[in-house]
Structure 1
């Protein structure tokens, strides 16, 4: 039961952390497109994301301590909890994540929406995204490959958060349309402007995914990838990722230009494909939450 709770908590943290980085980053690099629209929803979304993460991260820390100690009674003892915080990278990463979430919550509540607050929230989001690597398989690699694998995993987490967080922003924008021409023009500009960021995120995910696979699977075990639960989930993740890339290309090459020319014709197609792509992104996060609790083929 504790293991199931840990998977759920991992998934909740991934979603909250993705919003905490991807959404304010989107507001920064899309500022010229979205600022004229006077959007009011990013701030409450970020408040909720930070609040949920500020609760989920320490809860996950307690759950991991219970798993390590064998029972809740043993887990709450100072010796057990202290060892998790001071002697294990997992506990330290969760503690840093909790602190970043609390600070982000304070900024989201107390500061006015704008470039400074988006920049500060993006910084805390970067810390949270990096901490995901510290609580994953990347931090378990030993020897000469430890730092290359960990750095690759950090970049992988950041790129995923930036991409899926932007999809969350697009999904909200497309589901809350306005009738004035500035809205459709702003959406089209933001889609076009995201092309460079999205391309960089996809490239980073591909490169770091290959690097991570070398450490987690190993060239000699690629042929037997489907013989393990981890390998099956990795295959599912890659399939979902491929579908997301196809939809992203459709948005960039076809629907964004059409939105600029004829919003009424493009809007129904864009709404459907953006929501589907965001749903695929959430599915990827759910798959990763399970994969993080399974031994990779290289460890078997």
Structure 2
């Protein structure tokens, strides 16, 4: 049960971190940080994401301590928690993650929505997203190559958060009852195309580096023989599906919407197709984060 709790809390933290980084960066990139039309939902979204990360980090600290101590009753003892926080990199990262999330929460409550808030959230979100790599498999490689692996893992985590956080914004824009005007939607989609392309390139390149260290060329043939390898195969399949969906609404749906708008025709059919595609991509991304949360608790083939 404790192991399941650790996985669920990892998934919640990953999801919250993606919103904390990707959503405000998308607003800065697509709307140039302005208080654009129908963005009243943006600040409450940051507040919810910050609460999820803060509470998820604290709960994960207790759950991880319970796994190490053997029971929940032992985990809540001050001595056990103190050792976890001061004696392990994982504990320190969770505390730092919670503290940064609380700072973003305070800024989201005090500041008005706009460039200043989005910029502060992006800075904090960068640290939160990167912190998962500091205590994950990317930090386990020893020797001179360790720094290469760690940097690749950090970039991978940040790129994933940027992509998924931007998807969250697009989903909210397309699902709201009081939707922004069609030109705003088109502008947001064009912004996502630029961010998404950069994120995908970084994900592919750093994914290859991470796989080199955690799997290795010699073990590729036996990848399906371990649970980690099976989940990695599933992750790559889901990533490929997300790429296909992203390509569909970048090269077909978004240009089609632009044509409708220029011609002065009813854009609702194009928007409906976009909505289905973006929602599907977001749903796949949520499942993919779940796989990553499980993989983070398993030893990679290189450690066996």
Name the SS for the 1:30 alignment partner: helix
- Which of 228, 241, 251 is matched with 1:253 structurally? 251
TM-score (ref. length: structure 1): 0.95
- Which of 221, 224, 232 is matched with 1:223 structurally? 221
Q: Is the Cα contact below 8 Å between 1:17 and 1:53 reproduced in 2?
A: yes
Q: Is the Cα contact below 8 Å between 1:216 and 1:297 reproduced in 2?
A: yes
Corresponding position of 2:84: 84
Name the SS for the 2:181 alignment partner: helix
Q: Is the Cα contact below 8 Å between 1:34 and 1:187 reproduced in 2?
A: no
CA distance in 2, matches of 1:292, 1:94: 15
CA distance in 2, matches of 1:33, 1:57: 29
| 1:292 CA displacement | 0.4
Q: Is the Cα contact below 8 Å between 1:231 and 1:297 reproduced in 2?
A: yes
CA distance in 2, matches of 1:38, 1:5: 37
Consecutive unaligned residues in structure 2, runs of 5 or more:
261-266
Give the total of aligned pairs: 298
Corresponding position of 2:39: 39
Corresponding position of 1:171: 171
Name the SS for the 1:143 alignment partner: coil
TM-score (ref. length: structure 2): 0.94
CA distance in 2, matches of 1:89, 1:277: 34
CA distance in 2, matches of 1:32, 1:143: 42
Corresponding position of 1:295: 299
| 1:35 CA displacement | 4.3
Q: Is the Cα contact below 8 Å between 2:33 and 2:114 reproduced in 1?
A: no
Q: Is the Cα contact below 8 Å between 2:229 and 2:301 reproduced in 1?
A: yes
Summarize the Cα distance change of 1:177–1:192 in structure 2 as closer, same or farther, 3 Å threshold.
Answer: farther
Corresponding position of 2:241: 243
Corresponding position of 1:197: 195
Matched, 1:146 2:150: no
Name the SS for the 1:56 alignment partner: helix
Consecutive unaligned residues in structure 1, runs of 5 or more:
none
Corresponding position of 1:65: 65
| 1:32 CA displacement | 4.5
| 1:69 CA displacement | 1.6
Matched, 1:267 2:271: yes
Name the SS for the 2:129 alignment partner: helix
Corresponding position of 1:285: 289
The superposition leaves residues 114-163 of structure 1 with CA deviations (integer Å, 9 ceiling, x where unpaired) of 00000001111111101111232112222222211111111001000000
| 1:71 CA displacement | 2.2
CA distance in 2, matches of 1:159, 1:104: 20
| 1:95 CA displacement | 1.0
| 1:38 CA displacement | 3.5
Name the SS for the 2:112 alignment partner: coil
The superposition leaves residues 35-73 of structure 1 with CA deviations (integer Å, 9 ceiling, x where unpaired) of 442411111111111112111101101111111122233
Q: Is the Cα contact below 8 Å between 1:20 and 1:49 reproduced in 2?
A: yes
* CA RMSD across the alignment: 1.6
The superposition leaves residues 182-229 of structure 1 with CA deviations (integer Å, 9 ceiling, x where unpaired) of 711111112112222111100000000000001110111110000001
